[in-house]
Amino acid sequence: MTETATITGSRDFRIFWVGEGTSKFSSAMTVVAVPLVATQTLAAGPLLVGVIEAVTWLPWLVIGLLVGAWVDRVSRWRVMIAADLVSVVALGSVPLAAAFGLLTIWQLMVVAVVLGGASVFYSTAYSAYLPVLFPAMDLASANGKLMGTEKAAQVAGPGLAGLIMRVVAPAGVLLVNAVTFLVSALCLCFLRREEPHVRALREGGADRTGRLWRDIGEGIRFVRTNVYLRTLTLYAAASNLVAGALQAVLVVFLLRTVHLDATVIGLVLGALGAGGIVGAFLAAPLTRSLGSARAIVASEACMPFALLMPLAQRGFGLALLIGGGTMVSAGIVASNVISATFLQTYCPPRMMGRVSAATRVVNFGTLPVGALLGGVLGTAIGLRPTMLVIAISLTLSPLILLFSPISRLRDLPGADHAQAPGPPAHEVSQ
């Protein structure tokens, strides 16, 4: 039986796949729904849309490191379920308020902050819980399929959101989103497993509060002193700075500069995710044929196609944006799958939450900054020139990898080369 057949035939994976796919489908609809609620229902401009996008990612900067250390001390399974349920309540409040004419831009910002906070807890616990569900030999396949499903949702989700908005107001889409997070929570209820770090803490009688800040420091030091993790983290932070700006202005650009309606915008955003599906399923074959380090660098060669995106026009001109965005999405997703698998197999299990959080605080911490910059630039110089600045920045971002030690390797190292901090850690030698 092949590796693909093994992981796909697993009952645990099928249940987890359904739950994750459902919530990712919801998130893909939210990408369209929230900006359109802001612009069409509340008459927000590019700057306010950028602020809403920024506050969604702000919790990573505020609580990310604390959450990372905390989920190494509690059941990650419980954290994921609780995060899903909080998302249900937050999303459900928007259509409820809209139905009574009480929805304001301030409520939308509060909901964005709550959803962002729930995402911090869920994502950190998710990265650490996946190795509990699946053995190391299946992680690459599981990551590829889960990422591919996420991108498939990004293809279908925005289009469906646009169709739903033909029948109900944009806020109504968020009610559907709330239901999908509830489905995700129910699926997780069938996947409780004994978590080794919880058993070790219980048997050792460890103090769950006294070493919190020390634990946070260990996670930061592990990333900071490791040349591979440090390089990948800095690269992701730089590219996410640009991605934050793109997320903040893309829907407004398509609505107000290219003059598309909500349905077509949903279809366009869905088409952009098609490249991500290809990238997710090519990640494992690329790794086998090129090596993990070379596969990451090769994936980022797609970034110059971003220069096609600012040329978008109505009609056939949309092919430039879709073609460029599809190639960029394929490269980013393939790189993300390989990097995620490296982290999950390289990092000591007891530190998975802390290390995952340390990398994501830096990675995702630049997204709100980028979103604000995108909103400010869109207001100051116009939406099309802002898209050009974003495209140039995406094209230049892979230089971080090309001038790093990773570009000189075939494969990233395995777990036997990782040094968990006890005494001060040393940088990995080349």
Distance CA 201, CA 338 (A): 31
424 within some domain: no
105 in Cβ contact with 48 (< 8 Å): yes
- Enter the DSSP assignment of 90: H
245 within some domain: yes
425 within some domain: no
Unique residue bearing structure tokens 């599981």: 142
222 within some domain: yes
428 within some domain: no
Unique residue bearing structure tokens 């996410």: 240
219 within some domain: yes
Number of domains in the chain: 1
* Domain at 124, CATH number: 1.20.1250.20
Q: Per residue of the chain (430 residues), give pLDDT as tens.
A: 444 445 555 777 788 888 888 877 777 777 777 877 887 777 777 778 778 877 887 888 888 888 888 887 788 889 989 999 999 999 899 889 888 888 888 888 899 899 989 988 988 888 778 777 776 667 767 777 777 777 677 667 766 776 777 777 777 778 888 888 999 999 988 887 777 766 666 665 545 545 777 878 888 888 888 888 899 999 888 888 998 898 888 888 998 899 888 778 877 877 777 787 788 788 888 888 999 899 999 988 889 999 999 998 888 888 999 999 989 988 888 888 888 888 878 887 777 778 877 888 888 778 888 888 988 998 899 999 999 999 999 999 899 988 889 989 999 886 555 444 443 333 332 2
Distance CA 312, CA 315 (A): 9
427 within some domain: no
Unique residue bearing structure tokens 């591979």: 228
The pLDDT tens digits of the residues spanning 278-315 come to 887 888 888 889 998 999 999 888 899 999 999 988 88
Distance CA 163, CA 151 (A): 19
Determine the structural domain holding residue 61 and report its residue range: 3-417
70 within some domain: yes
Q: For residue 426, which phi and psi values (nearest 5 degrees)?
A: -110, 150
The pLDDT tens digits of the residues spanning 349-380 come to 777 778 877 888 888 778 888 888 988 998 89
C-alpha distance from residue 348 to each of 246, 345, 352, 416 (Å): 35, 8, 6, 10
